[in-house]
């Protein structure tokens, strides 16, 4: 299949750890919107709800629903998602990891703090990509923010619980603290987006989003994929999302019955 990406987009992803891709999922927005509307009314048992102090709306997040919501499954298996992921990761294969849904009500007031995804996950490797796909027009001020080049840091950022900022794992020595995001060491990449656009970023890229303090509801889906060099990593505690009973050892390729390879070998 011919690539949907330019070489410049692939290079930006490699250099910055993040790139915006315009209109690549235009044909899938109605399908995903239908799935998201069902999801809002039918969250999983593991869904989390955050609320900002003095704000009335809620911020719902939910993981791993692609198998039970037909529209999500259709997108994962039949959209250009996998081929785009393989091109960005410069990988011969693309293995599906999980989906993540964010729903921010009007005036939710709960931000997504600066963080790095990889330390929360049961994997290690560099060939990774997360697709941040908003289902409505998104102003730059409430769009995803990413620190360009932060995926090149030689140590993982200490993962914390968003609810209380406590360390996610007991072993702090394995991680570094969040670098100063305001001193200009990193360029902040942030874009206004339209439905069909997607921001793609490496699991190691530091990113976050401002709170919804405006009169707009926002629905965002993330889809996360793994490339050739990604293997299972046993973390010193519960991961997010957690996969109880995964029964794997460090260095193994993730099990195909849970995480299917949807592109390549």
State pLDDT tens for residues 130-144.
Answer: 999 999 999 998 899
* Residues whose CB is less than 8 angstroms from the CB of residue 130 and which lie 6 or more positions away in sequence, other chains included: 117, 200, 201, 202, 203, 222, 223, 224, 225
| pLDDT value at residue 106 | 55
pLDDT tens-digit series, residues 108-157: 456 778 999 999 999 999 999 999 999 999 999 889 999 999 999 999 99
Residue 131's closest CA among 206, 224, 20? 224
User: Is the per-residue pLDDT at 50 higher than 70?
Assistant: no
- Burial string for 15-46 (b: 16+ CB within 10 Å, else e) reads ebbbbbbeebbeebbebbbebbeebeeebeee
User: Is the per-residue pLDDT at 189 higher than 80?
Assistant: yes
The torsion defined by the Cα of 158, 163, 164 and 167, in degrees rounded to 10, comes to -20
Q: Which residues pair with 187 in a beta bridge?
A: none
Question: What is the pTM assigned to this prediction?
Answer: 0.92
| pLDDT value at residue 1 | 44
| pLDDT value at residue 142 | 87
User: Is the per-residue pLDDT at 2 higher than 50?
Assistant: no
Q: Which residues pair with 218 in a beta bridge?
A: 104
Select from 3.40.50.970, 3.30.70.260, 2.60.120.620, 3.40.50.300 the CATH code of 7-240: 2.60.120.620
User: Is the per-residue pLDDT at 208 higher than 70?
Assistant: yes
């Amino acid at each position: 299949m011919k690539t949907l990406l330019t070489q410049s987009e692939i290079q930006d992803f490699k250099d910055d750890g993040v790139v915006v891709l315009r209109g690549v999922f235009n044909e899938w927005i109605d399908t995903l919107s239908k799935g998201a509307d069902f999801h809002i009314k039918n969250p999983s048992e593991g869904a989390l709800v955050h609320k900002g102090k003095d704000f009335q709306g809620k911020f719902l997040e939910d993981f791993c629903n692609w198998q039970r919501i037909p529209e999500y499954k259709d997108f994962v298996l039949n959209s250009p998602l996998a081929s785009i992921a393989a091109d960005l990761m410069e990988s011969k294969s693309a293995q599906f990891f999980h989906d993540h849904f964010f729903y921010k009500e009007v005036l939710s007031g709960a931000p997504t703090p600066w963080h790095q995804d990889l330390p929360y996950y049961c994997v290690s490797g560099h060939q990774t990509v997360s697709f941040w796909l908003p289902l409505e027009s998104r102003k730059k001020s409430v769009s995803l923010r990413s620190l360009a080049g932060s995926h090149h840091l030689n140590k993982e950022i200490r993962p914390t619980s968003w609810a209380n900022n406590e360390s996610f794992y007991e072993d702090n020595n394995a991680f570094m603290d969040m670098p100063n995001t305001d001193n200009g060491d990193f360029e902040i990449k942030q874009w206004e987006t339209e439905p069909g656009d997607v921001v793609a970023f490496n699991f190691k890229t530091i990113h976050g989003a401002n709170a919804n303090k405006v009169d707009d509801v926002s629905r965002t889906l993330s889809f996360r994929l793994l490339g050739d060099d990604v293997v299972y990593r046993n973390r010193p505690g519960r991961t997010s999302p957690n996969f109880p009973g995964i029964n794997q050892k460090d260095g193994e390729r993730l099990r195909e019955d849970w995480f299917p390879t949807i592109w390549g070998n």
